[in-house]
Structure 1
Amino acid sequence: MKLAEALAERADATRRVEQLRSRIVSNARYQEGETPAEDAARLLVEAGEALDALQILIRRINRTNAAVVMGEHGTITDALARRDVLRLRHAVVTAAADAAAGSDQRGYSRQLRSELMMLPALPVAELRAQADVLARELRELDTRIQRTNWEADLLD
């Protein structure tokens, strides 16, 4: 199995566990004289089995991410850490540019010439350019991670 397939399987298993959790909660109590729509105890056992399988899958994915090398980016785990930080860095730079540009002022504008002007404390154009560079780096890294996910075999 390829790593990408395991990641898709993990997402499906996570959704399945969440659905079981919701069904358990819905059927954990019922009104006297009625019967619940589903057996909550059976659903709880099923959720436990699904969680055990999910744990094994996550361990295999993590083991693979730590072992597979992506060239200059190090392991997949290293690349994932870089991608997470690039996303955060992009969000910070974009928020700074928006704030400096006055995008978050929610309709504030001077009504009279005697009112004080709001001036940007940061270079908006430079921040926008920096955000564009970060977005490109993020896209390129994400593409390399996805390619590696389809090329790498899942480890035991």
Structure 2
Amino acid sequence: MKLAEALALRADAVRRVEQLRARIVGSARYQEGEEPAEDAAALLAESGEVLTELEALISRINRTNATVSTVGGLTLTEALARRDVLRMRHSVITAAADAAAGRDQRGMAVRQLRSELKMLSALSVAELRAQADRLARDIREVDVDIQRANWEADLMD
């Protein structure tokens, strides 16, 4: 099995656990004189089985991520950490650029009336936008390396 297939199975298992959790919660209590919609104990047992399978799958994925290298020479674990930090950097830089440009978190102009005090930017919006563009490119490149490795690497036992 390829790593990408295991990642899809992991996502399916996580969704399945969430669905089972919702069904368990909905069937855990019922009104006297009526029958519950589903057998909560059976659902709970099923969720335990899915979680056991999920744990084994996550362990195999993590072992694979720690040993498989990407095109850039990083292990998948290192590449994933790099991508996560690049995304955080991008978020900080774009938020700073928006604030320096006089935009709030929704992208709306902050100054409403001409009689309000004029606000000046403490940061260069153009430089921040250029930096954000470079970070976005770096994120895409790392992501492509990760995806390539996911489809090429065999899942470890």
TM-score band (shorter)? over 0.9
- Is structure 2 residue 137 aligned with structure 1 residue 141? no
Rounded to whole Å, the distance in 2 between the matches of 1:15 and 1:72 is 32
Quote the residue 1:108 is aligned against: 111
Counterparts in 2 of 1:5-154, with a 5 A limit? Answer: 5-104=5-104, 106-112=109-115, 115-154=116-155
Instruction: Tell me which amino acid in the other structure corresponds to 1:14.
Output: V
SS of residue paired to 1:11: helix
TM-score, L = length of structure 1: 0.95
Rounded to whole Å, the distance in 2 between the matches of 1:98 and 1:3 is 38
CA contact (8 A) 2:102 2:110 kept: no
Rounded to whole Å, the distance in 1 between the matches of 2:30 and 2:135 is 53
| TM superposition outliers: structure 1 runs of 4+ over 4 Å | none
Gaps of 5+ in 1: none
Rounded to whole Å, the distance in 2 between the matches of 1:13 and 1:54 is 6
Instruction: Tell me which amino acid in the other structure corresponds to 1:111.
Output: R
Instruction: Tell me which amino acid in the other structure corresponds to 1:140.
Output: E
Encode CA deviations 1:57-91: one digit per residue, 9 max, x unaligned.
Answer: 00000000001012434200000000000000000
How far 1:116 sits from its partner (Å)?
Answer: 2.9
SS of residue paired to 2:118: coil
Identity of aligned residues (%): 69
Rounded to whole Å, the distance in 2 between the matches of 1:135 and 1:70 is 19
Gaps of 5+ in 2: none
The RMSD of aligned alpha carbons is 1.2
Rounded to whole Å, the distance in 2 between the matches of 1:100 and 1:49 is 52
SS of residue paired to 2:123: coil
Rounded to whole Å, the distance in 2 between the matches of 1:46 and 1:90 is 41
How far 1:117 sits from its partner (Å)?
Answer: 1.3
